[in-house]
Amino acid sequence: MLASVVTLCVVGTIAYRMHQEGAPSRKVPKLPLKVDVSLQRVHYTETKKGVKRWDLSAERAEYNKEADSTTLIGVKLVVAGSGSTGDLEVTAERAEYRNATRDVTLSGKVLGRSASGLEFSTSRITYVAARSQLETDQPVQFKDGGFELKGTGMEFQTQARRLKVMKDVSAVYRPQGVR
């Protein structure tokens, strides 16, 4: 009888302690609807034939399996350039990465800068991976040395560094050192 009581006390104590230790110290927040995976600080590199084409990094990523897309927050896209043009870095508040096409639509204070000094800004832009091209139908501003360009809509070939502004174009050239 005494052995049975001691055994019950030991089992009860063990069960009680396991329950206490198993309780989580903080709860994991529920994922928003239509989000299958949520990650913090992500980095993705696209390569072709062993050569880096671009890097995509973000503070947060939420994958939606149904739409086969990933929503990114705090985004930086670095498109690899040639030795003469250098890399092109584009930052934005948000982005939508479409997994099937590998296209990235960046939005919210989109800023682009190249190692050679080219800068641009817009509110939304899409990197079309198949063509290595940035496209927008939004107002855009470019600066390169003493050259400033404004317009609406553009296509920018990231490898060749060819720019086409679609409409409402205005340009100003100020030689370096002249104000």
Instruction: Please report, for residues 49, 114, 147, 172, 174, the alpha-carbon distance to residue 169 in angstroms, rounded to integers and kept in the order given.
Output: 38, 22, 13, 10, 17
Closest CA to 125 of 162, 77, 70: 77
Domains and CATH numbers, the chain: 5-21+39-173 (2.60.450.10)
Average pLDDT over residues 25-44: 65
Q: How far apart are CA 114 and CA 90, in angstroms?
A: 9
Q: Are 171 and 149 in contact (CB under 8 A)?
A: yes
36-53 pLDDT, tens digit each: 676 788 888 888 888 888
Q: How confident is the model at residue 30 (pLDDT cuts 50, 70, 90)?
A: low
- Among 33-42, 123-132, 156-165, the range with the most confident prediction by mean pLDDT is 123-132
Residue 156 predicted with pLDDT over 70? yes
Q: How confident is the model at residue 145 (pLDDT cuts 50, 70, 90)?
A: confident
As given in the structure block, the two tokens for residue 152 are: 């609406």
Q: How far apart are CA 29 and CA 110, in angstroms?
A: 29
Q: How confident is the model at residue 177 (pLDDT cuts 50, 70, 90)?
A: low
Whole-number average pLDDT of the chain: 83
What is the per-residue pLDDT for 36?
63
Q: How confident is the model at residue 119 (pLDDT cuts 50, 70, 90)?
A: very high
What is the per-residue pLDDT for 152?
96
